[in-house]
Amino acid sequence: MASPVFDHSKVTVVFVLGGPGAGKGTQCAYLVDDFGFCHLSAGDLLRAEQHREGSEFGQLIQTCIKEGTIVPMEVTIKLLENAMSAALKEGRAGDGWKEGRGRFLVDGFPRKMDQALKFDDEVCMASAVLFFSTTEEVMLSRLLERGKTSGREDDNAESIKKRFSTSLPLNFRVKTYTPQLGRVIEIDSSPAVETVHARAKEAVGKLLPLCKQADHQTRSWI
Ligand code: ADP
Ligand code: AMP
């Protein structure tokens, strides 16, 4: 089998998981400032591709997003790989880019085990997982509030319900299947933004040195 595009001893990938509205994007913005990550949101990349002129996937992505279903992984993984290449080339993924080093927060991906395995095999072996957890009630109220200004066509009660039914069990399975517990951190994202941020910052500060260790030779998934 061909090796991954990026060498995980140089490129650190932290998957950021959690249900819709759990606060992934909000916390990633802070962690970018704290640690110099490049933040890549699978949902944002898909929305950009949906509106890109000439995209062969525009219609398919639009339907999936509206219905809250999973976009075929080949599309999402290719978008992530392209975005990682561009960020490394342009020096947007932290210090060390001239030696091909970089660090990424990959937000909203993977949503299924097959996505995790394909990404590990073909793009870059992930180093760690940050999991933001809260209740559906909290997420619903945040998303309805966000919907007042986000302009997103899936921040409405009907789409949110569908998104809960596809994203939550799948995210949960991903978490369950991750055996390297030292590199899987669950953070309760119910409290205020600042509280969650303080916890996330502390956790990532401890995590990053572990990601650099040479013994990180095995995938995080079974
Ligand atoms: P996700 O990326 O997981 O879908 P967002 O980061 O976009 O979620 O957050 C969803 C909404 O909730 C946003 O409007 C955001 O401002 C708000 N939000 C995020 N974290 C918190 C928090 N800890 N407390 C209250 N509101 C929050
Ligand atoms: P999000 O911005 O994370 O709320 O995602 C919005 C929508 O994009 C989801 O409801 C899915 O339709 C799609 N999507 C986001 N991430 C993925 C992914 N990893 N795999 C497939 N589809 C995704």
φ, ψ of residue 122 in degrees (nearest 5): -110, -25
pLDDT value at residue 214: 45
Half-sphere exposure of 180 (CA within 13 A, CB side): 17
| Average pLDDT over every residue of 77-106 | 93
81 vs 61: CA distance, rounded Å: 18
- Per-chain mean pLDDT for the chain: 89
19 lines ligand 1 (CB under 6 A): no
pLDDT band at 171; cut points 50, 70, 90:
low
pLDDT value at residue 222: 45
Nearest bound ligand to CA 131? 1
Kindly tell me if the per-residue pLDDT of 180 is higher than 60: no
Cβ atoms of 166 and 43 within 8 Å: the answer is no
pLDDT value at residue 179: 52
Model pLDDT for residues 103-137, shown as the tens digit of each residue: 999 999 988 888 888 998 999 988 888 999 999 99
pLDDT band at 176; cut points 50, 70, 90:
low
Kindly tell me if the per-residue pLDDT of 52 is higher than 50: yes
DSSP letter, residue 2:
P
Protein residue closest via CA to atom 23 of ligand 1: 193
CA of 159 to the centre of ligand 1 (A): 17
Q: Which residues pair with 130 in a beta bridge?
A: 16, 185
Percent of the chain residues topping a pLDDT of 70: 88
pLDDT value at residue 83: 97
pLDDT value at residue 168: 62
160 vs 29: CA distance, rounded Å: 23
CA of 132 to the centre of ligand 1 (A): 11
Bond before 72 cis per omega within 30 degrees: no
pLDDT band at 68; cut points 50, 70, 90:
confident
22 lines ligand 2 (CB under 6 A): no
Protein residue closest via CA to atom 6 of ligand 2: 43
Residue in 27, 126, 28, 123 with CA at minimum distance from that of residue 83: 123
21 lines ligand 1 (CB under 6 A): yes
Kindly tell me if the per-residue pLDDT of 175 is higher than 90: no
pLDDT band at 173; cut points 50, 70, 90:
low
User: Alpha carbon of 189 to those of 8, 18, 167, 197, 198: distances in Å?
Assistant: 28, 9, 17, 9, 11
- Which atom from ligand 1 is nearest to the alpha carbon of 107? 2
Q: Three-class SS of residue 31?
A: helix
CA of 196 to the centre of ligand 1 (A): 11
167 vs 18: CA distance, rounded Å: 8
Nearest bound ligand to CA 75? 2
Kindly tell me if the per-residue pLDDT of 48 is higher than 70: yes
Domains by residue range for the chain, with CATH: 11-210 (3.40.50.300)
15 vs 110: CA distance, rounded Å: 7
